[in-house]
Amino acid sequence: MSTLSSLTEQEFIELYRLRGPKYISDKFGTGIRNVNYRRARLEKKHNVSIQAPQAMLQRRNQMLPAMLPLEVEDGCVIIGSDPHYHPGLISTAHAGMVEMIKKFQPKAVIVNGDCFDGASVSRHPPIGWSSVPTVEEELEACKERLGEIADASDAELFWPLGNHDSRFETRLASVAPEFAKVHGVSLHHHFGKEWQHCWGVTINDDVIVKHRWKGGDHSAFNNTVRSGKNTITGHLHKGYVRPFTDYNGTRYGVDLPTLAEPYGPQFRDYTEMNPVDWRSGFAVLTFRGGNLLQPELALTHDEGLIDFRGELHEISVDDL
């Protein structure tokens, strides 16, 4: 049986571009990671781009509809979640993430849902006579904050849909269904094309990033056990990393912190200002040779201070 090494460099490049990594992996009995390692090596050696046909990338994820693929051999991906952006407010976590993006220049940045809070279009009735931002005010806040993220580097930008994001279209669909597919009725119509909207992102075929799946205090554990992959989710705002080890090795479940302040005005009324088991911050995923290292959390220590890698980093929103 022929092996991957029996292919000449030119044969490998042509086959990769024609049939994609999954075909080569199956035909030569090797892992996709080995295939992509050789591809990366040849790209660097010959200063060329070697890409699979787009159809191949889509078929590779046919069991995960609307999951966008991302390949990261060496480098990092920075993920923030649940910012619930509010007009006039910039959290320490948001400013810290922008600073870390500038510093680390990641391969990709993922804002993992619930950028738009949608308080005025919630299915829940208002509490008392509470005043909430308008849709227009929230959209402007989202554009400003996401613009700061986009301007910080040349990274690929992904925005998996969150349940609060979906309020925008759910409201319109319920009161004006005849406007379906008209430009402007979808949330993503209001943001630049640099943001790739999706249900989730798959990184190197063994990391899943999406807004939510399992709930409860053990969500990160249940997500990675049930999926068989490293699973990065938001929605619950808890902010912790849960390793899980079996015969396949160690993989990680991550429950992302919120980019917002846990006791901010976005949450004041419906939490009734009860104590919440939430943390403010973001995550940094580092890859070496296509393998995920232990995920790291950067957490808000106090206003203007981020706790990351054993040090306190001073953050100023005035630097945005």
Give the pLDDT confidence of 137-152 residue by residue, as tens digits: 999 999 999 999 999 9
pLDDT, residue 289, reads 94
Across the chain, where does the E strand assignment appear? Answer: 67-70, 75-80, 108-111, 156-160, 195-198, 200-203, 207-210, 230-233, 238-246, 249-257, 281-288, 291-292, 296-302, 305-308, 311-314
If asked whether residues 20 and 82 sit together in one domain, one would say: no
* 281-288 and 291-292 beta bridge pairing: antiparallel
Instruction: Quote the number of domains for the chain.
Output: 2
Residues 108 and 285: beta-carbon distance below 8 Å: no
- Tell me what the mean pLDDT of segment 197-212 comes to: 94
50-54, 155-159, 187-191: range with highest mean pLDDT: 155-159
Q: How confident is the model at residue 234 (pLDDT cuts 50, 70, 90)?
A: very high
Pairing relation of β-strands 291-292 and 296-302?
A: unpaired
Last residue of a domain, one of 43, 60, 77: 60
Q: Within this chain, do residues 43 and 78 fall inside the same structural domain, yes or no?
A: no
Whether residue 305 contacts residue 312, with contact meaning beta carbons closer than 8 Å, is answered with yes
Q: Are residues 46 and 98 in the same domain?
A: no
**168 plus 47 within the same structural domain:** no
Asked if residues 281 and 260 have their Cβ atoms less than 8 Å apart, the reply is no
pTM (2 d.p.): 0.79
For 46-102, the pLDDT digits (tens) are: 888 888 775 544 444 444 448 899 999 999 999 999 999 999 999 999 999 999 999
Q: Are residues 41 and 151 in the same domain?
A: no
Q: Are residues 144 and 223 in the same domain?
A: yes
137 and 24 in a single domain? The answer is no
Q: Determine the structural domain holding residue 104 and report its residue range.
A: 67-319
Residue 238: beta bridge partners? 257
Amino acid identity of residue 26, one-letter, is D
With 0-12 CB in 10 A as exposed, 13-18 as middle and 19+ as buried, what is 165?
buried
Q: Are residues 140 and 230 in the same domain?
A: yes
Q: Please tell me whether residues 50 and 90 are part of one structural domain.
A: no
Q: Do both 118 and 178 map to the same domain?
A: yes
- Do 12 and 114 sit in the same domain of this protein? no
Same domain, 77 and 51: no
25 confidence band (pLDDT: 50, 70, 90): confident
Please report, for the domain that includes residue 74, its CATH number.
Answer: 3.60.21.10
